[in-house]
C-alpha cells in the first residue's frame, strides 16, 4: 500500500469501517511511514475532540422499546411471499416478446437498407442522364449562338460592302 491509498482510507480506518485485509495493510503501512502515522494520529485526535465537545444523548428506554416493537411488527406484517409459478412464465413471456420484437425490427431495418441500396443505382443513373441532357442542351445553345454570330458577321460584311458602293 502506498501513501495515496492509505491517505484516502485513514478516516475509515480510524472509525473501524475497513475490512480485515485493508486494516492489516494500513497498519503495516503506518508502521513504516511516519507521515501517514502522523496523519492517523491527527484523525484520532480530532475524533477525541469531537467526542469531548459534543454532548451525547442516549435514546430513552421507552423510545427504544417502541422502535424495537415497530421493527418486530413490520417484519411480522410483511412476510416474504413465495413466488408463484406464473411469475416464471411472466418473465419467459416477456423475454419471448422482446426477442420477437428485436427480430421484427432487424428484419424491417435490413429490408429498408437493401431497398435503399437497390434504389441508389437508379438515383445514380438518373443523375447521370440529367448531366448528359444538360450537356446536350449546352451544346445546342452553343451551335445556335455560333450560327447567329456567323450570320451577324455575314450581314455586317454585306452592309459594309453596300456602304462602300
pLDDT at position 104 over 80:
yes
Joined together, the cell numbers standing for residue 27 give: 497498519
What is the mean predicted confidence (pLDDT) over 2-30? Answer: 90
Give the pLDDT mean for 109-123: 76
Q: What is the pLDDT of residue 158?
A: 55
pLDDT in tens, 119-156: 666 667 777 777 777 776 766 666 666 665 565 565 55
- Taken in order 21, 27, 31, 34, the sign of the CA dihedral is positive
Least confident of 31-35, 83-87, 108-112: 83-87
Report the SS3 class of residue 54: coil
How far is the C-alpha of 4 from the C-alpha of 26, rounded, in Å? 11
- Residue 134 phi, psi dihedral angles, 5° rounding: -60, -40
* pLDDT band, very low/low/confident/very high, at 115 (cuts 50, 70, 90): confident
| Cell numbers linked to 38 | 502522523
Measured between alpha carbons, how far is 10 from 19 in angstroms, rounded to an integer?
13
- What tens digit of pLDDT does each residue of 35-90 get? 999 999 999 999 899 889 988 888 899 999 999 888 888 766 655 666 666 667 77
Alpha-carbon torsion angle 22, 23, 25, 30, nearest 10: 140
- Angle (nearest 5°) at CA 61 between 56 and 63: 90
Given a cut of 80, is residue 106 above it in pLDDT? yes
Domain regions of the chain by residue span: 1-77, 102-165
What pLDDT sits at residue 40?
93
Is the pLDDT at 113 greater than 80, yes or no? yes
pLDDT at 164 over 60: no
Q: Is the pLDDT of residue 30 over 70?
A: yes
Match 485513514 to its residue by C-alpha cell.
Answer: 10
Buried b (16+ CB within 10 A) or exposed e, 135-156: eeeeeeeeeeeeeeeeeeeeee
Taking only the tens place, the pLDDT of each residue in 85-99 is 666 777 788 888 999
Residue 78 has what DSSP assignment?
S
- CATH 1.10.3470 for domain 1-77: no
Amino acid at each position: 500500500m502506498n501513501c495515496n491509498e492509505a491517505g484516502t482510507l485513514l478516516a475509515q480506518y480510524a472509525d473501524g469501517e475497513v475490512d480485515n485485509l485493508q486494516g492489516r495493510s494500513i497498519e503495516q503501512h503506518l508502521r513504516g511511514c511516519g507521515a501517514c502515522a502522523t496523519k492517523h494520529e491527527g484523525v484520532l485526535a480530532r475524533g477525541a475532540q469531537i467526542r469531548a465537545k459534543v454532548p451525547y444523548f442516549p435514546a430513552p428506554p421507552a423510545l427504544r422499546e417502541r422502535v424495537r416493537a415497530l421493527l418486530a411488527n413490520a417484519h411480522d406484517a410483511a412476510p416474504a411471499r413465495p413466488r408463484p409459478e406464473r411469475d416464471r412464465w411472466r418473465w419467459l413471456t416477456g423475454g419471448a416478446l422482446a426477442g420477437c420484437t428485436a427480430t421484427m425490427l432487424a428484419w424491417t431495418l435490413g429490408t429498408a437498407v437493401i431497398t435503399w441500396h437497390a434504389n441508389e443505382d437508379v438515383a445514380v443513373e438518373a443523375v447521370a442522364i440529367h448531366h448528359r441532357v444538360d450537356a446536350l442542351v449546352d451544346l445546342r445553345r452553343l451551335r445556335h449562338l455560333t450560327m447567329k454570330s456567323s450570320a451577324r458577321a455575314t450581314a455586317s460584311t454585306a452592309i459594309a460592302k453596300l456602304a462602300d458602293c
